Amino acid sequence: MRPRRLVVVVGTGTGVGKTWVSARVLTTLRAAGVAVAARKPAQSFDAGDDPAGLDAAVLGAATGEDSETVCPPHRWYEVAMAPPMAADVLGRDRITTSGIIEEMTWPAQGVDVGLVESAGGVRSPQTHDGDAVALVAALAPDVVVLVADAGLGTINAVRLSVGALAEGGTRETTNVVVVLNRFDEDNDLHRRNRTWLREQDGMTVVALPGQEAELATMVR
């Protein structure tokens, strides 16, 4: 059963904090009594990484789900590369966008907000036949959360990412919420980046940490 509200979290690149942002908004929603679930279609990591710190485990801790429910065990790739590249290195089967969507089951009792977290940036390969833009287009979510760093270069990265999402079939760019992560209110550049994206580009922008409640309201 599809969640009442489907949210896809993407990033302007690797390491911008998608999982942290996802966990914060899920925790906030759950604390407010909202039924939530999270899915990570595929995750890649270093073989020596702590299992408790893997994306699926962090998301599962936020929703109360087992990490193998969040991400099927056969989609765990112990090579720190884009999932299809990791699959090739490990000699695993090819990954297809339709295949990972078919695997994406939700709780039978239904959930209010279902969150899907992609890997890497919007043009990072998620499968052998699609990137995060293709995944978003196939899922047709109600909201896309685009996570970006708050600092230097973020205006360019956000513009390129939003443009790619629009070209890839996202229904409206207005359903994209930009999250400036690791935001420091005392940092002049961070504040100016937020103002520019809001006023010059007309984007919906929230800053984390600090605006978890506002982001939760936007996705629910």
Choosing from 40, 75, 190, 220, the catalytic residue is 40
Helices 188-199, 154-167: axis angle to 10 degrees equals 30
Tokens of 90: 């490990």
H-assigned helices in the chain: 18-31, 55-63, 67-70, 83-90, 97-103, 132-139, 154-167, 188-199, 212-219
18 has catalytic annotation: no
The C-alpha R_g of the chain, in whole angstroms, comes to 16
Which is it for the CA torsion 20, 171, 201, 143, positive or negative? negative
CA distance 184 to 187: 5
**Max Cα–Cα distance, the chain, nearest Å:** 48
CA distance 118 to 19: 9
Q: Which residue is it, tokens 């390491």?
A: 15
User: Which DSSP symbol is given to 94?
Assistant: P
Tokens of 177: 């919420």
Residues annotated as catalytic are 40
